[in-house]
Structure 1
Amino acid sequence: MLTCRSLSVAALICASLTIHAQSSSASANAITTDPAPDKAAPPSMVQLAVPSHGERLLGVFYLAAGAGPHPTAIVMHGFPGYEQNLDIAQAIRRAGWNVMAVHYRGSWGMKGDFSFSHVLEDADAEVAFLRDRAVDAKYHVDPSRIVLVGHSMGGFAVASAAAHDPRVAGVVMISAWNIAGPYTDLSDDKEGIAVAKFVQGQTKNDLAPLAGCTAESLGHEVFRGRKTLNFLTFAQSLSTRPVLIVTSDDGLAKDNEKLFQALQANGDHSARIVHLATDHSYSGRRIELEQAVLQALASLPPR
């Protein structure tokens, strides 16, 4: 029998397993248990304004306890963003991470016009904000450990931002919406049909939180950008990082499975996919969702 003392290689394996067990335990604790008090550097929440193309993206920065620097997650909400997933943000902070969550231009009272192209620009701006040395020093951010977590349209946004910045350490896509997936192969003369289909699909959404757009204008944007608003185009760029894909019974799983297969085809052996049998907002599986996200963060390679 091979023991931990038999070989140096075995010792490394045992150490790795010990670290993994400790990380898993820490992840489980972060679901239900507040961290030990740190009077010198307690956790806090600060109001935040992230600059993006002449406007400010307002939101919050949940700062972890301890002097840091801390790994930092950016949580991006969906379309139009009624589900903020701030329970996930709080769990991530309890696990020792900073968490940033802001609104896109033209959404939820932010100035500017909402569009999908602006969302992707804003996602890039959020990552760039955490690349600023002054920001990192002020908020105790470890710029080598930035992870992007997005739900629905936010899942698309984090994939885009990570594809644009190879330094992003990992990505979590929760029921990611492949925005133009259904329209990618349509010919130019099908725009009217595609827009009508898009508008019909939005009848379940109240777009009141969005400014400077209509369902029709967004439908035209999707159709005209159908070659680029497809997250399968990000597969090669994303395949250099760990990616967790979470799916549910919301009709989006098929495209997410295609992305997972594309990541594997591009050599990403650390990519994982998890399915939870629930709705698009994970209403009945929030704890399991938090656990999946925290386990993904805990499994990132060391700095």
Structure 2
Amino acid sequence: MTERWMHDPDPALRPAAHTPEVRFDSAGIPLLGVLHVPAGPGPHPIAVLLHGFPGNERNFDLAQALRRAGYAALVFHYRGSWGVGGTYSWGNVLADAARAVPGMRSLAARYSLDPQRVALVGHSLGGFAALMTTAADPSVRAVAALASFDFGAVAQAPDAVRREAHAMFGSDLFPLRGTSADALFDEMRAAGPAWCLAGLADALAGRPVLLVAAGNDTVTPPPLHHAPVAEAYSASESFEHVTFPTDHVFSDHRIALTKAVIDFLDRRLR
């Protein structure tokens, strides 16, 4: 995880790392983000980071580490969250994640980005969105999904599991606008099997996929959210997965998580 400007022997000529605020539109709503641009002339591969629900953990440590490793790392908010305009919904999260890819490509010349090397890295809800977006967009080169929330699996799970999901949706609404626990639950239930992550296996086959699970995770317990997905993807030679003995946000395994993601991208995206 070292800076990759060693081909430039003169530090005085090396473009400095910087962290500009960036904006891109999704359905007419400007989405706000922070782009971690590496030092060096580029063009830099792009890693779009997708945070979870509601976004308390935004993985800025991972973004900074990705920058040190030579990746331009974007962290942004979905519409209807954390002061961004528009209405929050699962469908809008998916639409916003999809828009982030061309949004970064539109900034390629300004920040010396490589529009041909784009990866998605998502956590929890963001892991779900990263896998769904990659499956729908063949131009995304690689995807890393961390403790992904499998909405389709939960929608078809026993009543007790669905009640837990409904309660969780209602517990974190403060930074969101235009939604409710009932609205989010009904949207998940209406999508049903279409939002099952295991069903994306064919669309993702042949592209690099990393699934990272947390063995002590009570939000996305691996038997429901990870194991069936890993089994469905296992036939692909480009599929990798790892489980760390920690909680949903990898609280005491952040360095190990960072190393796993960067190692994956270094082997699969460069």
In structure 2, the residue matched to 1:238 is 204
| 1:231-289, Cα deviation, whole Å (9 max, x unpaired) | 12222111221111110021432222221221123xx1121111111111111111111
Alpha carbons of 1:39 and 1:230: their partners in 2 closer, same or farther (altered >3 Å)? farther
Tell me, yes or no, if the aligned pair for 2:124 and 2:148 is still in contact at 8 Å. Answer: yes
Of 236, 242, 263, the match for 1:274: 242
Give, in angstroms, the shift of residue 116 of structure 1.
0.2
Letter in 2 for 1:250: D
Tell me, yes or no, if the aligned pair for 1:107 and 1:210 is still in contact at 8 Å. Answer: yes
Tell me, yes or no, if the aligned pair for 1:239 and 1:264 is still in contact at 8 Å. Answer: no
List gaps (5 residues or longer) in structure 1: 1-26, 31-35
| 1:59-109, Cα deviation, whole Å (9 max, x unpaired) | 101111111111110001000010010100000000011011110010111
Letter in 2 for 1:179: F
Q: Which runs of structure 1 show a deviation greater than 4 angstroms over 4 or more consecutive aligned residues?
A: 193-197
Rounded to whole Å, the distance in 2 between the matches of 1:233 and 1:170 is 18
Pairing 1:1-303 to 2, within 5 Å after superposition = 27=1, 29=2, 38-40=11-13, 41-132=15-106, 135-184=107-156, 196-202=163-169, 205-248=171-214, 249-251=216-218, 252=220, 253-254=222-223, 255-265=225-235, 268-300=236-268, 302=270
Alpha carbons of 1:257 and 1:185: their partners in 2 closer, same or farther (altered >3 Å)? closer
Tell me, yes or no, if the aligned pair for 1:195 and 1:216 is still in contact at 8 Å. Answer: no
Alpha carbons of 1:194 and 1:301: their partners in 2 closer, same or farther (altered >3 Å)? closer
Given the two structures, how large is their TM-score scaled by the length of structure 1?
A: 0.81
SS of equivalent residue, structure 1 residue 233: helix
| 1:165-210, Cα deviation, whole Å (9 max, x unpaired) | 1121110000011123122378xxx8xx88755322346x422011
Tell me, yes or no, if the aligned pair for 1:38 and 1:65 is still in contact at 8 Å. Answer: no
| 1:198-233, Cα deviation, whole Å (9 max, x unpaired) | 322346x42201110011111111111112222122
Rounded to whole Å, the distance in 2 between the matches of 1:301 and 1:194 is 37
| 1:144-171, Cα deviation, whole Å (9 max, x unpaired) | 2111000000000111111111121110
Letter in 2 for 1:274: V
Which has more radius of gyration?
1
Alpha carbons of 1:198 and 1:37: their partners in 2 closer, same or farther (altered >3 Å)? farther
Rounded to whole Å, the distance in 1 between the matches of 2:10 and 2:46 is 20
Given the two structures, how large is their TM-score scaled by the length of structure 2?
A: 0.90
Rounded to whole Å, the distance in 1 between the matches of 2:119 and 2:67 is 13
Tell me, yes or no, if the aligned pair for 1:184 and 1:230 is still in contact at 8 Å. Answer: no
Alpha carbons of 1:38 and 1:105: their partners in 2 closer, same or farther (altered >3 Å)? farther
- RMSD between aligned alpha carbons? 2.1
Tell me, yes or no, if the aligned pair for 1:194 and 1:223 is still in contact at 8 Å. Answer: no
Tell me, yes or no, if the aligned pair for 1:198 and 1:215 is still in contact at 8 Å. Answer: no
Query: Aligned residues, how many?
Result: 261
Rounded to whole Å, the distance in 2 between the matches of 1:123 and 1:38 is 36
Letter in 2 for 1:277: P
Percentage identity across paired residues of the two chains: 35
List gaps (5 residues or longer) in structure 2: 4-8
Alpha carbons of 1:287 and 1:201: their partners in 2 closer, same or farther (altered >3 Å)? same
